[in-house]
Structure formats: C-alpha cells, structure tokens
Structure 1
Amino acid sequence: MSASSASSGIPRPRAFRRALLAVVATLGLAVTAATAATGSANASAPTPPSGWTQVFADDFDGPAGSGVNTANWQYDTGTSYPGGAANWGTGEVERMTSSTSNVSLDGNGNLRITPLRSGTSWTSGRIETTRTDFQPPAGGKLRVQARIQMPNVTGTAAEGYWPAFWMLGAPFRGNYQNWPGVGELDIMENVQGLNKTWATMHCGTNPGGPCNETSGIGNSTACPGSTCQSAFHTYAMEWDRSVSPEAIRFYVDGVNYHTVTANQMDATTWANATNHGFFVILNVAMGGGFPDAFGGGLDGDTEPGHPMVVDYVQVLQSGGGGGTTTPPPSGNRDAYSAIQAESYDSQSGVQTEATTDTGGGQDIGYVSNGDWALYKGVDFGSTAATQFDARVASGAASGVSGLVEVRLDSRSNAPVGSFAVGNTGGWQSWRTVPANISAVTGTHDVYLTFSSGQPADFVNVNWFDFAH
C-alpha cells in the first residue's frame, strides 16, 4: 500500500509534504516455493530450506477472539500516522482499529482482518511488525512470505476491497514524510475481488522519477490453480544481494512473476530505497485510489464482513559476507575505528542517503528530535574511552539546533556524553565535532540519540568513533 509523500535526498524540515495518491498500479504479492494454494487452513510456517535460517515467524496461534501478539506486531489506528497524510495517503475511507472485531485470531492458527460497516462508516485493521530491521546480509538473501486467503468476495459485493501484505523502509517510521525515497515493497495486493495479485517496488521521487511514481515498478498475475479469493496462496518476496545487479523478486506459490533489479534506476535511488531495514504490514483498506482505478470504490452493493485470513508470516535469511553497511556480529565493532553511521543494527526516524564527504558512501539524515540509531557490540577494551567524535553536517534554519547523544545498552539510560550542533553551512558541509564522555570500558551496545526543542531536522551523521 503506497505511503504517499514527496521526498528528496536532502534532509530538510519535516513540514507536511504528503498528498493523497491515486494509486494506479501498486503493490504486490510474492511467494515462496513452499505451501501450496490448497490444503490446511492452519498450516505452520514451513521449516527453512537448507542454507536458510528463520529470523521471524508468527503462526497466529492463540484463543479465538484474542488480539495479535504485541511483541511481534503493533496496531495502526485511526485514519493516518501521527502527522502523516490523511486517509493513510491513499484516499481509503475506513478507520483502522485495534478492536478484535476487526483484528483477531480465529483459534485455528489464523489471523483475520475484517472490514465492517456501521451505517456509512467503515472500520478495518492494519498491523505492522515491531521490528524494522528486515534486510538481507551483504552477499546474502532475505525472503519474506505469508500464506493468505484474500477476502472471499467478488463482483459488485467486493467493490472497494483492498487487502495487502507489504513492507516499508525503516526510516519511514516516525518520519512519515519521506515516501517513496525510503522504499516500499508490495508483496501482495488485490482490489475489487479480482483474481489477480500485484507486486510493486516504490522508490525515488513522487510524482514520476526513476520509479514511475505513484504507480511504482510493478506487475500482476492471476493466482495459480484456484482463485485468490477461494483458497490460500503463498506470497513471497526474495531480496537477493548475492547477484549483480542486486535483485528483488516476487512470487506467488513459488512462481516468480516480477523482478526489480538495481540497474533499473540510478545508484543513489537504489541505495536510498534499500540500504536499511524494513518492517512488514498487513491490512485491508476500503476504497481509495487503487480500487478507483479498477471500476470505483465503495457503494451500497459492497458487503462488509469478509476477512483477509493470514495463516502465517515468516522471514528467512540466507548466506552473506562482509559489507560496510551490514552490522558486524556483536562485539566486533572497534570503538576506536570509524563506525559508519549507516551501518546501524536498528533505528527510528533516520534515512540513509549518498554523501559528498571525503570517501563517499552513505550518511544518515532526516535526523530530528526523538530519532535514534543502534550499533551493537562496540568494543572499548580495557583502557577507558573518554572522548567521542562524530562527523556531522547541518543545513538547519537559523535558530534550529539539537544534541547528538551517546547512550550505552539502553535508550532509557542517561547519556555518557553529548554535543550540540546547529547549521554548519549545509547538509553536506561536514565537520568533526569532539565531546568528552564518561569513562567507558568493555563491550556495549551504543545508541546515538538525538534531542531538540523543536521538530525540524537538525543534523546528518556520516561516522563516529571514540578515543582515550
């Protein structure tokens, strides 16, 4: 589902920039070569194939009528993200809730997201993973898959139905203004009860740009064997960093029907859309630009109460080697060598972008109050570090500034050191700023946190290190 927003590669104040989209051909489906379309309605997530490891799974086991596991998922409620575009940026008309009337387990190992109508008002459900770090290792692969039966409704009764299984780039969370530059991968999308699934990658700038926004780079196909609405099918996305050019492939029941490769766009657009983690979303929208493009949205013939049924969601990882943007194993970061800011293990609110600083590569930008980035396993050794250095740049407006803080092991711990930064002459005008810190030894998870008295972006960070 498209999260509409104008975007550029240069951080600037987060004013409201998002417009409602007439999404014409977005989103997607995908599959693994695993569970068939037919069969049990409560199959377990399959055992990973040889060479793959499972990094996330939810079989949606639990009592009938209960909510989702909030350790895995968070509810999106209302009609927008906080401060984000109205109607979720797509023109859909429902109000999302956390009510078990809209989002619940069925007691048989399935999740049901059910749109309901009261008078002329619609409610439905939208959940997203709490984790935002799903990405392949350098030189490896990531597979994200789900076994889903679309709402079993067709014809005029299906007008306005818009179920989807998709992913958004981690920098979107907490920002909500940087779409489509941060990337969107639509693994399964359907409208109007058609026997068809769409897969799409969104990236670049909106409208137009290298990724043809707002439509994105997409394709569609009929569900094999049985219709999308009458049976379960497995939809998957496989993101492959073991090949050149890097590729993102989409599947339904193991059939690869759409692929996007890095050479379909410029290197900066691809990097901005992929050099970070992603989170997974499941939802059923009602009405909006995409249904409108296929015959119109909700009307008096639309029948409420037909759920999207999700058997499982699974994330697998395979292979991988070294890479400057892939986090090292815990304990393998040297506190006294430059730690590239874009190599975070997880983050909230920041976005990677190309930098013109010496050595090139990426920096993290769009940084404002409340944002953070985590770097696991930083080894300070037995001789205490007493200084922190960071390579920063800022094009913030006059009077806009904030703190770059270092916290150890928990974002709730007090900073061991910080420094203030304001305008340095531009978002790519770099300087190295030192700060004293409390003495630190041993191995720690390091959080860079950012605080300011106002909401505007105030800093970019290229790298940081520590000194004795």
Structure 2
Amino acid sequence: MIIAAATAVFAAGVGVALRANAALPATPTGWSLAWSDDFNGSANTLPSSANWIFDTGYSYPGGPANWGTGEIQQYTNSTQNVSLDGAGNLRITPIRTSSGGWTSARIETVRSNFKPPAGGVLRIEGRIQMPNVTGAAAAGYWPAFWALGSPYRGNYQNWPGVGEFDVMENVNGLNQVWGVLHCGVNPGGPCNETNGLGASRACPNSACQGNFHTYRFEWDASVSPQMLRWYVDGVQFHSVSQTQIGSYWSQMTDHSGYFLLLNVAMGGGFPNGVAGSATPTGATASGVPMLVDYVAVYTRAGSTTPTSAAPTTGSSGGGTGAYATIQAEAFNAQSGVVVETTTDTGGGQNLGYLANGDWVRYDNVDFGATPARQFSARVASGAAGGISGLVEVRLDSLSNAPIGSFAIANTGGWQSWRTVPANIAATTGRHTVFLRFASGQPADFVNLNWFTFGH
C-alpha cells in the first residue's frame, strides 16, 4: 500500500450496483486457473483458513509500526470486521470503537508463490465493490487488493526491494482506482519511493463506490523486456516495463513469488496526502464494508524464449535514443503525474493534469556525438483562460538550469493535440533527462503524449 500525494479526481459515473456472482466466472480462454476463492459460505463466518492468514494488531511482530503506512486501525479476526455475507461475498468492515479508535481486517493468502511460469504470464484478478461511502463520511477509508513479495514474510525490513503490486487502491471515497508498483529502494530509486510508479482512472461506466468492478494485474514474462499491466473492467490504465526498473528487476522477480492481500485501512499517508489533513475525522462513517465477490489467479504458459516486446522508447547502444519518439509514460521516476488513455493518433497513454512543479525523469538518454539542438513534444491543454506554463528540459539534475523550454496554453481541449518545437543548448553524450512543468498559477495546464530531440 502506498503513501502518495494527491492526484486529479475524476468525475463519478452513474450506474446501478451489481450483485455478486453465484460462482467463479469461467476461466478465460487461453488461461489456466492456478488458485481462487469465491467466498461462498454461511453468513457471519470467517473465510477459509486453508486459503487465508488473518493479520491482527497494529503491525507484524517486529515489523514497522502502523503497518509501515501510518494507518491507525487495529486489525482483528472478529467476524464483525471480516466475514462472509452469505451471498457469495467477503465483507471487510471498518468499525469505530466506543473509545473513538478503529478496528478493521487484513487477510493474506497462505500461498506465497504466485508468479508467471517460465516464458508465460501471471494474472491476478478480483471482483470488488469498494466501500459505498463518499464525501466527508469517507475520509480515511483505504481499501486495497495487492500483492507482496514472499521474502517479506518474517523479515519486514526488505520492502520495497522484494516488490509490491497494488492491483486496486482507493482512498477517501473518490471515484478512482490506483494501480501502483513499489520496488527498489526507499526513498527514491526506480520506483520513486515512497510514492511508487502509479497511475489512476475513474471506474468505467459506473462509480467505484457501490458497484462491483473487476480489477486485474498481469505480469507478462512472455515478452522481452517483461511488462507489468493494470486493468479495470478489462480497460488497461497503467503499465511498467522491465527497462524502467533496471537492475532492481531481478530483486523483485527472482524469489519464489508473491502472496495476495485484501484489507481496508483507516487513515495513513495515502488518504492523508490526498485529503491534505489527518484522517479519519469525526465525520467519517463507521461500518461501511468492502465486498469481494472472488479472487482468482490465472497463468498462461509460454515459450521459454520470450518474444520482443514493442518498445516504449527508441533505444540506442543500451540506452534510450534521443532521436526516437520517447513515450511520456515510459518514465523512470515522476512526481505529480497521472497516466491516462489518450485519443491522440496511435493510441496508447499520455501524462495528464500536469501543473507547476510536476516532473518526469528518463534515464540514460543517448544524444550521440552530433549535438542535438531541438526538442519537440506532443502536448494538449484544456486550461482555462489566463492559465499557461512552460515545458522545460533539464539534464542530470532538477536543480540544473533548463537547456530549453516552450510555453503552452489552451489548445482547444485536454485531448486536442499539437506538436510544439523548441530550441535547446547543444547536447551530446548520455544524460538523465528531466521534463519539468512550470507555471505561475497552481492549476493544471498541460498533457504530454511523447517527445523527441533533433539536430
């Protein structure tokens, strides 16, 4: 679970709550079912202890306090906090105690060896209804469906190096799902800890709260470089390439695998960061559950010789080629950005809702021996009148002066794209490239799809 700054809030959709499925859905074509729990059973009973471990208290024994995230609740194995509802759902319910504290539940799979077969794909999926609470009553609610690297069990000091895949996170009742990767070292590293490499979007067709949606994560080892992908209701909204993680990739993938977790935390770094103040509050509602229809793990076999993945950046001599089209979402680190689906020609994703002080970093960009003197970027803006800003290029450190920049204001909409050129100081060799977004106003002023350099 992540500690993150606030990101843009998407408008809630309108929909009708769906009931739980009576049974696990049919295994998707081409996949094999590796493990599942559909939470059928009598009401007010605990989920199967053959499948799940019940975490209790305020931390693992010897682990970081408040589960390492600042959350305030006490986890229990009481059926008041965690139980089957008799209608095919698991119910995890946070409750305010008479003394003003909170209890809730966190469970993790007994199995801890979920990973792709050699040259294949791992698919982790759950059909979940986030707690049906919004506004002030939702302050501090932090439901999550996620996975941790197995070496964390019994160690508790090796995070984030062992890896963490957040399949679904939500805070404060926002109509938004976050998917996040944690890896490397803390703070900083290739996953920009403690934030992680994440993206978010609104739930499709109906609000996240009060409706079931299917959240899915895939680890694709059938391609080279390997890819991680996040989906909601079959719509991909985030991806991370092995190349973005570099040498830390093996640390999070060469162990025996991952275990899965389901929980509803209260308060902590993520909801507090989004709210801009401490949560939960006196207005927070007690007793609103997260419902889980099923959790399933699938695998797809593949060749032991992975195929080449379509590159997200142009490469030259082991780095990113400065003169190729560099997709904006293929960053190595970021602050303040959101990744979303683009309608620009060619499809894919763009960085959205960029504002003053936001930045992205791209490592090992190769400019070669002939100096680059131009920079071009594909941008769009739906900023209000009078709102504008600069897209700056900086080399090797955010504190270095820009080598070039261009100004951008409203282009006709957040998906109304144009390519804007700029001159830069003559640049050769390999560099870390930072794109920094600067404005005299706090409002979002630009979206970015891709960029490139020229002579």
* TM-score of the superposed pair, with normalisation by structure 2: 0.63
1:83 pairs with one of 62, 67, 76? 62
**In structure 2, C-alpha distance between the alignment counterparts of 1:235 and 1:201, rounded to whole Å:** 15
Aligned to 2:78: 99
Please name the residue that 1:189 is paired with.
169
Aligned residues: 295
1:327-346 aligned at under 5 Å gives the runs: none
Which residue type is aligned with residue 67 of structure 1?
Answer: L
What do you get for the CA RMSD once the two structures are aligned? 1.8
SS at 1:265 equivalent: helix
One-letter amino acid of the counterpart of residue 75, structure 1 = F
Correspondence for 1:327: none
Whether 2:38 is the aligned partner of 1:24: answer no
Partner of 2:287: 305
Deviation at 1:25, TM superposition (A): 6.9
Q: SS in structure 2 opposite 1:314?
A: strand
**Aligned counterparts of 1:39 and 1:78: Cα–Cα separation in 2:** 33
Give the corresponding residue for 2:29.
50
Deviation at 1:230, TM superposition (A): 2.0
Query: 5 Å matches for 1:163-242?
Result: 163-242=143-222
What is the Cα deviation at residue 322 of structure 1? 4.0
Candidates 235, 249, 252, aligned match of 2:229? 249
* Cα deviations by residue, 1:300-345 (Å, 9 ceiling, x for unpaired): 000110000000000000013448xxxxxxxxxxxxxxxxxxxxxx
Taking the aligned partners of 1:264 and 1:280, their CA distance within structure 2 comes to: 24
The residue number in structure 2 matching 1:144 is: 124
Cα offset, 1:38, TM superposition: 5.6
Measure, in 2, the Cα distance between the counterparts of 1:25 and 1:205: 22
Residue 292 and residue 123 in structure 1: after superposition, are their counterparts in 2 closer, same or farther (change >3 A)?
same
Q: Could you tell me how far apart the structure 1 residues matched to 2:16 and 2:119 are? A: 31
Aligned mate of 1:61, from 24, 40, 43: 40
Alignment deviations for residues 245-267 of structure 1 (CA, whole Å, 9 cap, x no partner) = 1001000000000001101121x
Q: Give structure 1 stretches of 5+ with no counterpart.
A: 3-21, 27-35, 324-468
- Provide the C-alpha distance between the structure 2 equivalents of 1:88 and 1:140, rounded to a whole number of angstroms: 33
Within 5 Å, give how 1:115-130 maps onto structure 2: 115-118=94-97, 119-130=99-110
Q: Does the CA contact (< 8 Å) of 1:197 and 1:223 recur in 2?
A: yes
**Pairing 1:261–2:249 present:** no
Counterpart Cα distance in 2 of 1:38 and 1:45: 18
Q: Which of 106, 114, 118 is equivalent to 2:93?
A: 114
Residue 114 (structure 2) aligned to one of 109, 112, 134: 134
- Give the ranges of 4+ consecutive aligned residues of structure 1 lying more than 4 Å apart after TM superposition: none
* CA apart distance, 1:211: 1.1
Contact map agreement 1:25 1:216 (CA 8 A) in 2: no
Q: Which runs of 5+ in 2 are unaligned?
A: 8-14, 306-455
2:61 alignment partner AA:
P
What's the counterpart of residue 139 of structure 2? 159
Cα gap change, 1:303/1:179 in structure 2, threshold over 3 Å: closer, same or farther?
same
Counting aligned pairs with the same residue, the percent is 60
2:241 is aligned with what amino acid?
Answer: T
Write the distance in 1 (CA, Å) between the matches of 2:304 and 2:49.
33
TM-superposition CA deviations, 1:341-398 (whole Å, max 9, x none): xxxxxxxxxxxxxxxxxxxxxxxxxxxxxxxxxxxxxxxxxxxxxxxxxxxxxxxxxx
